[in-house]
Amino acid sequence: MSETISGKVAIIGVGITKFGELFEKSYNDLVVDAAFEAYEDSGLNPEDVEAAWLGTYLPLGWGFDGTGGPSLAEALNLYPKPVSRVSNYCTTGMEAVRMAAMAVASGMYDVVLAVGAEKMREVPPRGSLVAQHIEKLHPMYSKGRTAPGSFAILATRYFEEYGATKEDLAEVAVKNHYHGSLNPRAHFRKEITKEQVLNAPPVTEPLGLYDCCPTTDGAAALVLCKAELAEKRFNKKDYILIDGMGLSCATGYITTAFNPNFKFTGFEATQHASKQAYEQAGIQNPLEEIDVAEVHDCFTITEILNYEDLGFVKKGEGPDFVKSGSSKLGGQLPVNTSGGLKSCGHPIGATGARVLGDLSNQLLGRCGDRQVKNAKKALGHTLGGPGAVSSVFILSKN
């Protein structure tokens, strides 16, 4: 790697909408709410934005909800600036931020905007993803396959090899619902019990209803600028620096399930992406050096595998990490203090941007009841396609 991103790009503004079933909000409403909150937070004038990236995974229609850059330009009146849309499965929101950060680091722009948005609840929950697998994916290989199924199939293998159980998974759900109860913007704000998780109806056995994130609407926006301009031009005493960011495509989308080398007990994409980010950020021991993390808990099993793939613990020790309370608020390395995808919800394109926004707020000490004390270094992680692609960011306060 010739150059590191470390220290070159600052996050100076964060905007996150309420996440939930926002039937009264349009796609454009969500984009505007998130972007203008970020504008206000950064103190810039909308005209200052020189270029923008939009992350939306799967436009439900054509031309009015994130099909391309014009969707964002139209919502925010960014005409005639360069705006493009990126899509990279569940890393989409993070990918918009990564593109924006690279553009700033290249020196091409001083100030840019990254927005992640997904409006999933204009259709029934099933219509957004389950039906898509049947209606749009490969005529043969994808029939019978779903997103939850593609993660649950790892749980079956992980249980077999490491002796983990559904009770271990339930710990993740209980923890993240507790965290979500403290986050006013989360989709679910109720605590749940282990019994509720274990007695919930099956969705993709061994996963039950509470092992799965909901189908949610939401958007998040970040204003990024050259690090040296944060204070000089925007008068920011406190701002966020990107220490490292990695992205890895380590397997195929369809082919993963057919791949004889895929172990079904973890995700190489996360391992590679975190390695890239750790190298840039100079992280040697993530468990010791990172103070707060948001990881991709689309399903409870995923969070447990993430602990291991990100190097927080060794292979097979993921269940103990959550059971011991290490990943809970007040623990050694609080994970998903926002409530995670489990409680915040997972508007696919928004999630990655939301994760980085939430972590920025933690580092700036703006998280109220769920604030991690003295958080100086944060890790954000997303994983998509199921497990084919992963993005990892390391952030710190200036």
Binding site for another protein (CB under 8 A): 126, 130-131, 133-141, 143-146, 148-149, 152-157, 160, 201-206, 252, 254-255, 257-261, 264
In 3D, which of 286, 282, 287, 304 has the Cα closest to residue 295? Answer: 304
Peptide bond before 206: cis, by omega within 30 degrees of 0? yes
CB of 204 to another protein, least distance (A): 5
Residues 14 and 247: their CA atoms lie apart, in Å, by 22
Pairing of strands 389-397, 51-55: unpaired
Measured in whole angstroms, the distance separating CA 216 from the mean position of its chain's CA atoms is 13
Residue 392 C-beta: closest distance to another protein, Å = 23
Q: How far apart are alpha carbons 398 and 376 in whole angstroms?
A: 9
Nearer to another protein, 26 or 132 (CB): 132
Judged by beta carbon, residue 232 or residue 263, the one nearer another protein is: 263
Taking the complex as a whole, the smallest distance from the CB of residue 260 to another protein amounts, in Å, to 5
Q: Report, in Å, the least distance between residue 178 CB and another protein.
A: 27
391 and 294 Cβ atoms separated by less than 8 Å:
no
Block residue for tokens 């600036």: 81
Single out the catalytic residue among 179, 346, 367, 381.
Answer: 346
367 is catalytic: no
- Compute, in degrees rounded to 10, the torsion defined by CA atoms 360, 381, 192, 201: 150
Beta pairing, strands 51-55 & 111-119: parallel
CA angle 392, 395, 398 (to 5 degrees): 165
Minimum distance from residue 128 beta carbon to another protein (Å) = 12
Q: Contact at 8 Å (CB) between 379 and 290?
A: yes
Give the nearest distance from C-beta 251 to another protein in angstroms. 8
Shortest Å distance, C-beta 300 to another protein: 14
d(CA 350, CA 348): 5
Element (H, E) at 363: helix 348-363
Q: Which is nearer to another protein, 229 or 254 (CB)?
A: 254
Residues β-bridged to residue 240: 11, 397
213 is catalytic: no
Closer to another protein by CB, 97 or 249: give it.
249
- Which of these is catalytic: 90, 212, 213, 249? 90
Task: Of 336, 384, 373, 329, give the one whose Cα is nearest residue 118.
Answer: 384
Supply 55's token pair.
């992350």
Q: Count the residues in the chain.
A: 398
List active site positions.
90, 346
